[in-house]
Amino acid sequence: MAVPILKQGPFLIASIQAALTDTDVLRLQDDVMAQVGRYRSRGIVVDVTALDVMDSFVSRSLRGIAHMTRLRGAETVIVGIQPDVAFAMVQLGMNFEDVHTALDLEEGLAFLQAKLEPEPDASGG
């Protein structure tokens, strides 16, 4: 099943709805890369709340999306990793250190927004 990708201002939101086959994951990778170019997106949120398993293939693929979009000038943040899934990923030995993560969609968008905005002026002017 294809993962719907919504455009929200300068960001894309990919909301995974159900368990992904490897084919679905590869398609998500292609779709995100295509839409980053089409919409000149500055950031991507991938919401994995619905995933009950993040095995090595899914983890590597999401990491791949984060690295590839960064090369195109857009930051990716993975949101909604469930507690049991996080536990399994650590046991499995998945390295997610260089990937931005956030608790949920709201936190993920706030993270991207903060990256986009210039530092607040200290003088208040």
Partner 1 sequence: MADEVRVPIRSDADVVTARSEARSMGGGLGLSGTDLTLLATAISEVARNVTTYAGEGEVRLRVVADGARRGVEVVCADSGPGIADVELAMQDGYTTGNGLGLGLPGTRRLVDDFDLRTAPGEGTVIRLVKWSRA
Q: Segment 9-48, which members bind partner 1 (CB under 8 A)?
A: 19-23
- Asked if 52 and 85 touch (Cβ cutoff 8 Å), the reply is yes
Which of these segments, 8-16, 28-36, 55-63, 109-117, binds partner 1 (CB under 8 A)? 55-63
Structure-block tokens of residue 38: 């089409």
Task: Please return the burial class of 22, using the count of CB atoms within 10 Å of its CB with bins 0-12, 13-18 and 19+.
Answer: exposed
3-state secondary structure of 103: coil
Nearer to partner 1, 12 or 20 (CB): 20
Q: Does 87 bind partner 1 (CB under 8 A)?
A: yes
Q: Is 102 helix (H, G, I), strand (E, B) or coil?
A: strand
Query: What does the per-residue mask of binding to partner 1 show for 96-125, with x meaning CB under 8 A?
Result: ------------------------------
Scanning 69-77, 84-92, 103-111, 116-124 for contacts with partner 1 by CB under 8 A, the matching segment is 84-92
60 vs 72, beta carbon nearer partner 1 = 60
List of residues 6+ apart from 15 with CB closer than 8 A:
3, 4, 5, 6, 47
Could you list the residues that contact partner 1 (CB under 8 A)?
Answer: 19-23, 52-57, 82-85, 87-88, 91-95
